[in-house]
Structure 1
Amino acid sequence: MKKIVLALALSALVTPTFAKEKDSQASRFEKLELFNKVIHIIETNYYRKVNIDKLIDGALKGMFQTLDPHSAFLDKEVFKKMQEDTSGEYGGLGIEVTQKDGVLVITTPIEDSPAEKAGLKPGDKIVEINNESTIGITLDEAVDRMKGDLGTVINLGILRAGERDIRYFDVKRQKIKTKPVKSYAVKDYVVIRLSQFQKDAARHVVRALKKHKKELGKKFKGVVLDLRSNPGGLLNEAVNLSSIFLNDGVVVSTEGRDPKNKEIRYVKKSGHKELDCPLAVLIDGKSASASEIVAGALQDHKRAIVVGTNSFGKGSVQTVSQITEDAGIKLTIAQYMTPKGRKIQALGIKPDVMVSQVEGEFVEENMYDDGGIREVDLRNHLTATVETEEEKKARLKREKIARKKRIERAREINKHIKNKDKDRKYSASEDYQVIQAIKFLNTVNKFKKM
C-alpha cells in the first residue's frame, strides 16, 4: 500500500512538469509551422520573386532584435569578416555606437579620432551612411558598413538634438591610434584622463601618476581619475586599474542565467599601489562598460568619491558562437555586477555627487527643410511600380543629385561651426567638473586633518 501511495505522489509531482514541457514543445512546433506557412505565402504570392536565403536570414536577425541591442545573428558575410585572419590594416572612425529605439546613436567619439576631429558628438543620431538610410538595419550591420580600407572616406548623415536638418560629415577612415592617457597637474592634484581601456592602459596611468607625483613632491594632495566619455574596452585593464587603488576584495562579478554560476574578478595584489591618497572618479552619460566597472568598484569599496552624472549603463557580457560552417551568433550571456552586487545594465553608476557639465555653446539654427524621414528614405523601400532597368537608373540618378544638393547645403553649416570651434583647446584647470571634484577632495582632506 505504501509503495502505491508513494508512486502516486511521485506521479503527481512529475506529471505536471512533463505536461508543461510537452505543451511547450507542441507550442514551439505550432510556431515553426506558422513560420513555414508565412514563408510559403510570401514565396508564392509576393508580387516579385524573393530570395529565400535572404528572407530566412532576415527573420533570424529580427529574432535577435527582440532580445537586446548587443545580441545578433551573424550571417555568412558578417561572420566571415569576423573570422578572417588578415595582416591588412582596416581603418576606423573612432566612435562607439549603440541603438536606441531602432535608431543608431553615437555614444562616444574617441578622443583625437577622425570622428572627433570631423565634429561628431555624443548623442548624434546616424540616420544615413553613404547616403543610405540606417532605418531598419541592425547595429552589427551599421558597424560593418562603417568599416573600410585605410584612407577611404565615409559620409554620415547626422540628426543632432535641437536641430531639424540632417547634417552631413565626411570622415576619413584611419588607423585608430589614441593616446589612452592624458594627465595634468591642477591645484596640486593629479588629473588623469583615460580615454579608453586598451592594452596597457593601467600601466600608462601608473606612469602618469609617478611623473606628476615626482613633480609635485610634498605638494601632492590627491588624484582625479577622469573616465568621462570613456566607452570601455578590455575587462583585464578595468581590473588592473582598480587594483592600483584597492588592496584586496572583489572588483567585478558576472551573473548568468543561473545566479549560482558566477565569475568573480579580484583585486590584484601585485603592482603599483595608491591606497591612501584622496581619490575622485569623474563619470558621465558616455562612461560605459569598463569605466562603469572601475567606478562601481571604487565606489563600493568606499575608496573614491564618484562625481559627475549617471553613467551609460552597459553592463552585459556577450559571447560569439559558430552555429554552422559559415554563420554564427553573438549572444548576451551574463551581466556585470559591482562588488556589492549592484547591477550596471541599463541602470549605470549613480555618482555620489551629481555635477553636470556647464556648456556655454549655442547652436546656430539654419533651416532648409523639415528634416523629416520619408518613405523614400527607408531602406529597401518599395517603388510604386515595377521598374525597368533604365527607369531604375534614372530614378537613382535623380535621387543622387537631390542628396548632393542637401549635402552641399549642410556642409556650409558645418564649415561655419568647425571654424568657430577649431581654436578651442581643452584645459583641465578650466573644466567645471574637474574643479568641483577637486573642491570635494579638498573638503575630505580638511576633515582628515581635524
Structure 2
Amino acid sequence: MSIRNMPRWRTLLIGGALAGAGALSIGAADNYFEISKNLEIFNELYKELNIYYVDDTSPGKLMKTGIDAMLGSLDPYTNFIPESDIEDYRFMTTGQYGGIGALIRRKDDKVYISEPYEGFPSAKAGIWAGDEIYKVDGREVRGMDTDEVSKLLKGQAGTTVEVTMLRGDAAPMEYSLTREEIKIPDVPYKGFLDADSTVGYIKLNSFTQTASHEVRTAFKELKDHGMQRLVFDLRGNGGGLLREAVNIVNLFVPKGELVVETKGRIAEWDKTYRTLSEPLDTEMPMVVLVDGGSASASEIVSGALQDLDRAVILGERTFGKGLV
C-alpha cells in the first residue's frame, strides 16, 4: 500500500511508534502527511491548468507565479533564484560577472553608459560615457529600466553580444562585444581625508568573498603611510556574506570575541560566530559611517564594533533588517 492511500490513522500510528524509538514524532508525521496531500493537489491543479485552460499558458510562468505567491506570504528575505538569474546571484556573492564592463544609468526613457571600465570590452571598443544604448542583440531597449538592460548585457564570459549605440547626432554605431569576467572591488576607494591628514578613509561597498581581504590590504597600506585614525564607510552597503562580516570585525577586535549568533527552526543548525584570528589593530580610534542603505552584514559589523566598544557609529538610522 502506498503512503498516498494509507489511512491517516495508520500513518499517525506508525509515526507514534517511531517517535517512541526516537526517530519520528507524531507532529513530524502529521506534517509529512499534509505536505504530501498538498503537493498532490498542487500537481493536479498545475496539470489541469496547463492542459485544459481556455487560453495558452506558459508552464514556466505559471510555476513562477505560484512560487512568488508562496514566498510572498513569508518574510521579505526568503527568495527563489531561478537559473536565469544565476549571474546576478554570482555577482552578489563574488562581485564577479560576465559582461561588457560598464556602469549604466537611466534618464527619461533612455539608458546611457555612465562609465566604461578601463581595460574591459566597452572601453576597448571605443564606447564613451554618455553614449546611449539603443539596441542589444537587435532588441530596442528604450523604455526599459537599468535592471532589464543589465540582464541583456550580462552573460557567460566568452560569449558575444551585439550592441547598437547612439552618440549625439552621429549615425548609429554597431559593436560586437565579447563578454569578459569582470570583478567589482568591494573597496572601491581608500585614502586620507587630505594631503596632510592622519585620518584614513576606507569605503566598503559590499561583502563578497574578498571583502575582508580587501579591507585588510587597504588598512595595512594606510597604516604604513601614517594613518592614526580611521573612518570606515558602510553607507549604502546592503550586505552580503555573513562570514565576511565576522572576518572584518575580527580585523579590529581580539580573538575569541562573540560577534553574532544565528538561530532557526532546526536547533542543530544554530551557529555562534566568534573571531578566530589575531586582529590587525585593537587600539586605533575608529568611526563607522552608516545610513538607511546600510543593511544586513553592514548592521552586524557596525553593531558588533559598537557593542564591543571598538568604534563610534555616526550617520543615520540603518535599514533595520529583521532577519540577517
Q: Which aligned pairs between 1:69-108 and structure 2 lie closer than 5 A?
A: 69-73=76-80, 90-91=98-99
Give the counterpart of 1:180 among 182, 186, 205: 186
Deviations 1:288-330 (A, max 9, x none): 3332221121012121111111223456xxxxxxxxxxxxxxx
Asked if 1:55 corresponds to 2:71, the answer is no
Secondary structure at 2:246's aligned position in 1? helix
Question: CA separation of 1:77/1:149 partners in 2, compared to 1, >3 Å: closer, same or farther?
Answer: closer
Query: Could you say which residue in structure 1 is the equivalent of 2:6?
Result: none
Q: Does 1:309 align with 2:316?
A: yes
Instruction: Give me the whole-angstrom Cα distance separating, in 1, the residues matched to 2:156 and 2:247.
Output: 33
Find out whether 1:212 has 2:222 as its counterpart: yes
Residues 212, 248 of structure 2: 8 Å contact kept? yes
The Cα of 1:281 is off from its aligned counterpart by 0.6
Matched, 1:202 2:209: no
2:52 paired residue number: 44
What is the rounded CA distance, in whole Å, between the counterparts of 2:37 and 2:275 in structure 1?
49
Q: Residue 90 of structure 1: CA displacement?
A: 1.2
Which stretch shows the higher mean deviation, 28-37 or 58-67?
28-37
Task: Return the match for 2:274 from 251, 263, 266.
Answer: 266
Distance 1:37 1:177, change over 3 A: closer
Gaps of 5+ in 2: 1-15, 91-95, 104-113, 123-127, 131-139, 165-176
Aligned ranges 1:22-37 → 2 under 5 Å:
25=33, 29=37, 33=41, 36=44
AA at the equivalent of 2:240: G
| Partner-residue secondary structure (3-state), 2:230 | strand
Is the alpha carbon distance of 1:92 and 1:245 closer, same or farther for their aligned partners in structure 2, counting shifts above 3 Å?
Answer: farther
1:124-178, Cα deviation, whole Å (9 max, x unpaired): xxxxx945778xxxx9x998666336685889xxxxxxxxxxxxxxxx9875433
Equivalent pairs counted in the alignment come to 248
Residues 99 and 181 in structure 2, CA contact (< 8 A), matched pair in contact too: yes
Contact 1:197 1:237 in 2 (8 A): yes
CA, structure 1 residues 53+184, in 2 after alignment: closer, same or farther (shift >3 Å)?
A: closer
Which residue identity does 2:207 align to in structure 1? Answer: F
Distance 1:70 1:93 in 2: 29
CA distance in 2, matches of 1:56, 1:285: 34
Report whether the alignment pairs 1:67 with 2:74: yes
CA contact under 8 A between 1:94 and 1:176: conserved in structure 2? no
Q: For residue 239 of structure 1, report the CA deviation from its aligned partner.
A: 2.1
Alignment gaps of 5+ in structure 1: 1-9, 96-108, 120-128, 156-171, 316-334, 337-450
Displacement of 1:80 in angstroms is 11
String of CA shifts for 1:341-394, please: whole Å, max 9, x gaps.
xxxxxxxxxxxxxxxxxxxxxxxxxxxxxxxxxxxxxxxxxxxxxxxxxxxxxx
Equivalent residue for 2:4? none
Q: TM-score, normalised by structure 1?
A: 0.43
Letter in 1 for 2:199: Y
**Offset at 1:244?**
1.6
* 2:183 match: secondary structure: coil
Query: Could you tell me how far apart the structure 1 residues matched to 2:237 and 2:289 are?
Result: 10
SS in 1 for 2:62: helix
Offset, 1:200:
4.1
Shift of 1:195: 2.5
Answering whether residue 302 of structure 2 is matched by residue 292 of structure 1, we say no
Distance in 2, matches of 1:270 and 1:303, equals: 15
Question: 1:239 touches 1:268 (CA, 8 Å); kept in 2?
Answer: no
Q: Describe the shift of the 1:62–1:314 C-alpha distance in structure 2 as closer, same or farther (beyond 3 A).
A: same
Letter of the 2:204 partner, please give it: L
Q: In structure 2, how many angstroms separate the alpha carbons of the residues matched to 1:256 and 1:143?
A: 35
Q: Distance in 2 between matches of 1:78 and 1:270?
A: 38
Partner of 2:252: 245
Aligned to 2:108: none
| Counterpart AA for 2:183 | K
Amino acid at match of 1:269: S
